């Protein structure tokens, strides 16, 4: 009996070699051309037309969805944190998932610009603009990604995060309501101690119950959906909860990959932490507008 590989080679050599890299794609390919394959086996001397045109259509629509992400990071005197944050993005950039990294600075006096320039990032200086204004401006300047990933410089994404992000984007492309969804990561603190672990537990509980991640958990959202929501509003604080509230609990997906924050909850005073937590409680639970609750945040 004629060898299957020989059959595929004669039907379409270029497609065979691309499909041969994966048994999954090879099986799909055989199913797609099953009728012609059967005809060839029955009559191997009959001349077969190549499937080059069908290959290009198949590869474009069924084999692989091209993922393009633009990363936006708002910085201010963040040279040390930015080094680690950018290092976690290297594998995704090497695989072509990340197409650009835009660093929007708010008046740094350290070497943040040199770090961004050495890493090949797009550098934008916005003076003393608030973080929300810098994120919104960075999103408006992004031009190479269909999806936007908002990160804080103190956030280090766990190894392999981009594979899970790819799976989410591919799923969103297939689902009817996929374009109107967003994703965030599981929060972990780099610090040791009980305070960090308790903060992680509360963050996980808040994420599951309210669907409102903090800014240091990252936000992955399609450009189209982001623009439809109106982007980040010009707020001095709480911009992360404000946009999460507009996205909606049912449209926020939490990925298993962790966003490791170098921030330490215990650095701030007890009263300051309580006031900020109460302000976020007002936005997340009582549904008070962030523009009002920001006065409590301080």
Q: Which domains, from first to last, does the chain contain? A: 4-63 (no CATH), 69-263 (3.90.550.10)
258 contacts 185 by C-beta, under 8 angstroms: yes
Tell me which of 46 and 116 has the higher pLDDT. Answer: 116
Distance CA 290, CA 294 (A): 6
Instruction: Give the range among 41-55, 164-178, 268-282 with minimum mean pLDDT.
Output: 41-55
What pLDDT does residue 210 have? 73
Tell me the sheet residues that pair with 149.
71, 220
Residue range 234-248: average pLDDT? Answer: 89
Q: CB 99: neighbour CB atoms within 10 A? A: 18
3 contacts 14 by C-beta, under 8 angstroms: no
Tell me which of 48 and 130 has the higher pLDDT. Answer: 130
Burial code (b: 16+ CB inside 10 Å, e: under 16) for 219-251 equals bbbbbebbeebebbbebebbbbbbbbbebeeeb
Antiparallel, parallel or unpaired: β 252-261 and 219-222? unpaired
Q: Specify the pTM.
A: 0.71
Position 291 confidence tier, pLDDT thresholds 50, 70, 90? low
Position 191 confidence tier, pLDDT thresholds 50, 70, 90? confident
Position 288 confidence tier, pLDDT thresholds 50, 70, 90? low
Edge-first strand listing for the sheet containing 219-222 = 122-125, 98-105, 69-75, 147-151, 219-222, 182-189, 252-261, 155-157
Position 237 confidence tier, pLDDT thresholds 50, 70, 90? confident
What pLDDT does residue 6 have? 52
Distance CA 224, CA 217 (A): 21
> Of 201, 207, 166, 163, nearest to 184 (Cα)?
207
Distance CA 187, CA 207 (A): 9
Distance CA 163, CA 160 (A): 6
pLDDT > 90? residue 275: no
Residues whose CB falls within 8 Å of the CB of residue 16, separated by 6 or more in sequence, listed in order: 5, 8, 9
Helix (H, G, I), strand (E, B) or coil at 151: strand
> How many CA atoms are closer than 13 Å to the CA of 177, on its beta-carbon side?
8
Tell me the sheet residues that pair with 122.
102
């Amino acid at each position: 009996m004629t060898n299957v590989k020989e059959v595929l080679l004669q039907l379409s050599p270029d497609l065979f070699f691309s499909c041969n890299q994966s048994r999954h794609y090879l099986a799909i390919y055989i199913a797609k051309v099953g009728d012609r394959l059967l005809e060839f086996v029955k009559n191997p001397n009959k001349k077969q037309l190549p499937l080059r045109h069908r290959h290009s259509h198949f590869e474009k629509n069924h084999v692989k969805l091209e993922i393009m992400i633009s990363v936006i990071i708002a910085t201010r005197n963040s040279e040390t944190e930015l080094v680690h944050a950018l290092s976690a993005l290297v594998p995704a950039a090497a695989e072509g998932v990340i197409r650009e990294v835009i660093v929007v600075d708010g008046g740094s006096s350290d070497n943040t610009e040199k770090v961004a320039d050495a890493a090949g990032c797009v550098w934008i200086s916005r003076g003393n603009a608030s973080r929300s204004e810098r994120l919104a401006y960075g999103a408006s300047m992004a031009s190479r990604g269909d999806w936007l990933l908002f990160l804080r410089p103190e956030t280090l994404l766990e190894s392999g995060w981009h594979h899970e992000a790819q799976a989410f984007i591919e799923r969103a492309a297939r689902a009817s309501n996929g374009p109107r969804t967003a994703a965030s990561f599981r929060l972990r603190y780099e610090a040791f101690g009980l305070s960090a672990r308790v903060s992680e537990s509360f963050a996980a509980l808040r994420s599951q119950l309210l669907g409102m991640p903090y800014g240091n958990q990252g936000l992955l959202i399609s450009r189209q959906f982001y623009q439809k929501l109106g982007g980040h509003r010009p707020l001095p604080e709480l911009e992360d909860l404000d946009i999460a509230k507009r996205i909606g609990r049912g449209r926020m997906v939490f990925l298993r990959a962790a966003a490791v924050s170098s921030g330490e909850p215990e650095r701030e005073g007890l009263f300051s932490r309580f006031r900020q937590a109460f302000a976020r409680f007002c936005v997340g639970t009582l549904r008070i507008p962030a523009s009002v609750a920001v006065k409590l945040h301080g």
